Amino acid sequence: MNKKEAGERIFRLRKELNRHNYNYYVLSQPEIRDFEYDMMLNDLIELEKRFPEFYDKNSPTQRIGDDRNQVFVKKEHKYPMLSLENTYSQEELNDFDTRVKKIIGNDREYVCELKYDGAAISLLYDEGKLVQAVTRGDGLRGDDVTANVKTIKSIPLVLRGDDYPSLFVIRGEIFMSREGFRKLNAEMEKKGKTLFANPRNTTAGTLKMLDSSVVAKRPLDCFLYHLLGDELPYDSHYENLERAKDWGFSISPHMTKCKGINEVFDFISKWENARQDLPFDIDGVVLKVNSYRNQRQLGFTAKSPRWAISYKFKAERTVTQLLSVDFQVGRTGAITPVANLKPVLLAGTTVKRATLHNDDQIKLLDLHYGDTVFIEKGGDIIPKITGIDKTERPPEQIPVEFMTTCPACGTALIRKEEEVQHYCPNETGCPQQIKLKIIHFVSRKAMDIDGLGEETIELLYENGLIKSIDDLYKLKKEQLILLERFAEKSADNIIHGIEESKNVPFSRVLFGLGIRYVGETVAKTLANSFQSVDALMNAGFDELLGINEIGYSIAQSIKDFFSKTENRGIINRLKKNGLKFELSEDEKELRSSKLEGLNIVISGTFENHSRDELKDIIEKNGGKNSSSLSSKTNFLLAGKNMGPSKREKAKKLNIAIISEDDFMKMIQ
């Protein structure tokens, strides 16, 4: 092949490949198979190597990137890159519409677009060729990321046709689809690398990567939404973007023309509801006045155009800064790290703090003070930090280290090997633990003592009146009255409430003791199974494990609790004060653990009990009532009118069928 033939073939291949790129990445309508495309591309790579005189930085071969490190040069924007005024409310959109109407009258036309959650990019085309791609930067100057942007297949390197302006800028958003992001993270996981936080951050980070051959492998995409230039074909936004499709640009198919503000509201509510169905993230809707003449009439403020506004959906994810980390001591001594954040609006509320769970979580995030962090609100209300924007971390930031001593009492913290939590072991001396234990003891689900809230407990503790839960029963009205803020009435109330608490049933007293892992339900199970605190205290490890729903950690925690002299002392003193440390006679009669571990199905109608009563009896005796027969069922409690198919099924599964009488005998 001579030079002339090679040149011709190179140009033909480039043209063909550009066309297929456009079909595939912009129109999503490929005409050839991937294999054929790759063969053509390989052909071109070979030829360009053999005939370097035909090198062209906009050749389709340049999309594979270059692994030589690049430095990002700052480039001035030809037109400043402004941002948009944001609003979260429909009233403000109405105000915007009113302002527009005042200046351009009723004949206004809007264009609604989606607000893509990625990274803004400004592309400069000269004679149909991409010559520069610059990030937003400070709006006046941004980073030249041309080499990286060239790897994005939906951005044309050479334009189609010949009716494009000779020099123009087109701006848009580079983003990563959710699916692309998911796949990328799956790969990272396979390689044992740290996962990316979210598509937006990954996009921004990828654009600033030094090695464009890595960028080429990332699934970046782009929608363009803003044309700027002196010779644009139309005097309106929508029409120009429509035309830009023919030049090879990927223009969002969701762009819609609207007459008046009500159509705009329709567009917003449609996408607010359907945003989850889109393959990529959006964080709102952008509203623009269509006519350039009208845009010129409206003009700009210092920061943003007066002819456009963005309506942001209530954020589910946002970015803020980590200011400091508190280490909170819990009732059982567990230390929870809590992040103090620069206040930020998220899904309608201001977020200032987020839990960090434990040290493993801090290490996993690789959290540093001053970090720019992503926070999210999941289904629950508690916000959490899901990732860090490491590109924003100045070099001198120091990593967040877990505390080594208790912030409340100074005792060295411990972390057992198999546990993720750090603990302050000073259970009986740590003031924070003591206060929280008392607060738990008087709380509604435990002793439910009226008039004793967190602040009062704090006050009583600080004045040396209570040092442990049993001290509550020594309190005298005269002592309370001497305290600030106490009137005769409130003092009476508290003393009365404390007296009343002596009638609280055993299971709630047990719950109130605050044994680690012994919640409301476990306390009930334990009370029913052992019937008294003495029996529970003397129970062996295996005996505890033998009870349904009591596992190793609970059993260990119970043994630990009762092995401490201080705890036994507290229980003795509480007993002396008349608190209930065993089931009442009534409770004993009704409750047992006779049906412990048994799965019982009720069917039919009964002589002496309703089905609900039977269900209640089963549960009070430690059994479980299920609605359908299975291999796990132990008994079928059968009444009259039970269907034959149930009986058949019970027989097949070898399940014993018992009558109401048999059942009552079982629990007597």
Q: Give me the active site residues, please.
A: 115
Residue 151 Cβ vs ligand IVH, minimum distance, rounded to whole Å: 20
Q: Compare residues 20 and 115 and give the one whose CB is closer to ligand IVH.
A: 115
Q: Which of 42, 83, 94, 262 binds ligand IVH (CB under 6 A)?
A: 83
**Minimum CB–partner distance for residue 334 and ligand IVH (Å):** 43
CB contact at 8 A, 231 and 292 = no
Using rule CB under 6 A, residue 308 touches ligand IVH: yes
116 binds ligand IVH (CB under 6 A): yes
Q: Which is nearer to ligand IVH, 10 or 170 (CB)?
A: 170
Q: What stretches of 231-343 show up as alpha helix (H) in DSSP? A: 237-246, 260-274, 292-298
CA 632 to chain centre: 37
Does position 251 bind ligand IVH by CB under 6 A? Answer: no
82 binds ligand IVH (CB under 6 A): yes
Under the binding rule (CB under 6 A), the answer on residue 48 touching ligand IVH is no
Query: Could you tell me how many residues make up the chain?
Result: 668
Q: How far is CA 26 from CA 61, 62, 322, 520, in A?
A: 18, 18, 40, 59
The strand pairing partners of 169, in sequence order, are 124, 228
Of 594, 574, 467, nearest to 528 by C-alpha is 594
Reference 96, options 245, 221, 212, 265; nearest CA is 265
- Segment interacting with ligand IVH, rule: CB under 6 A, options 82-90, 383-391, 470-478, 513-521: 82-90
CB of 84 to ligand IVH, least distance (A): 4
Question: Does the footprint of ligand IVH cover residue 115 (CB under 6 A)?
Answer: yes
Eight-class DSSP state of 116: E
Residue type, 580: K
Instruction: Answer yes or no whether residue 521 interacts with ligand IVH by CB under 6 A.
Output: no
Quick one: which segment of 111-119, 198-206, 320-328, 550-558 binds ligand IVH (CB under 6 A)? 111-119
Compose the 186-225 pattern: x for residues touching ligand IVH by CB under 6 A, - for all others: ---------------------------------------x
The H-or-E segment that residue 75 falls in is: strand 74-76
Q: Which residues pair with 176 in a beta bridge?
A: 220
- Name the residue nearer to ligand IVH (CB basis): 287 or 544: 287
Give the integer Cα–Cα distance in Å for 449 and 386. 40
Coil vs helix vs strand at 506: helix
Taking the complex as a whole, the smallest distance from the CB of residue 272 to ligand IVH amounts, in Å, to 15
User: Which of 262, 358, 307, 281 shows the shortest CA–CA distance to 103?
Assistant: 307
User: Starting from the edge strand earliest in sequence, which strands make up the sheet with 119-126, in order?
Assistant: 129-135, 119-126, 167-176, 220-228
- Based on the shown chain and the rule CB under 6 A, indicate whether residue 113 belongs to the binding site for ligand IVH: yes
Within 13 Å and on the Cβ side, how many CA atoms surround 519? 5
Q: Does 305 bind ligand IVH (CB under 6 A)?
A: yes
Residue pair 646/626 in contact (Cβ under 8 Å)? The answer is no
Site string for ligand IVH, 432-471 (x = CB under 6 A): ----------------------------------------
Using CB under 6 A as the binding rule, whether residue 472 contacts ligand IVH is answered as no
The alpha carbon of residue 454 and the mean position of all alpha carbons in its chain are separated, in whole angstroms, by: 30
CB of 280 to ligand IVH, least distance (A): 11
Q: How far, in Å, CA of 207 to CA of 636, rounded?
A: 66
Q: Does 149 bind ligand IVH (CB under 6 A)?
A: no
Site for ligand IVH in 154-193 (CB under 6 A): 173
Closest separation in Å from C-beta 310 to ligand IVH: 6
Min CB(388)–ligand IVH separation in Å = 21
Give the nearer residue to ligand IVH in terms of CB position, either 233 or 305. Answer: 305
Beta pairing partners, 74: 143
Which listed range, 27-35, 112-120, 205-213, 605-613, lies at the site for ligand IVH (CB under 6 A)? 112-120
Shortest reach from residue 34's CB to ligand IVH, in Å? 30
Backbone angles phi, psi at 613, to 5 degrees: -65, -40
Q: Choose one: 47-55, 80-88, 479-487, 526-534; the region binding ligand IVH (CB under 6 A).
A: 80-88
User: Hey, is 300 helix, strand or coil?
Assistant: strand
Residue 121 backbone phi and psi in degrees, to 5:
-140, 145
Identity of the residue, 18 or 203, whose beta carbon is nearer to ligand IVH in the bound complex: 203
- Report if residue 7 touches ligand IVH, rule: CB under 6 A: no
Closer CB to ligand IVH, residue 138 or residue 187? Answer: 138
Tell me which amino acid residue 257 is: K
Nearest CA-CA partner of 124 in 139, 138, 145: 145
112 binds ligand IVH (CB under 6 A): no
Residue 277 CB coordination number (10 Å) = 7
- Of 13, 286, 388, 446, the one binding ligand IVH (CB under 6 A) is 286
Minimum distance between the CB of residue 207 and ligand IVH, rounded to whole angstroms? Answer: 12
Q: Are 71 and 144 in contact (CB under 8 A)?
A: no
* Residue 238 found at the interface with ligand IVH (CB under 6 A): no
Q: Supply 41's token pair.
A: 């591309």
Residues at the contact surface with ligand IVH, assessed by CB under 6 A: 82-84, 113, 115-116, 120, 136, 173, 225-226, 286, 305, 308, 310
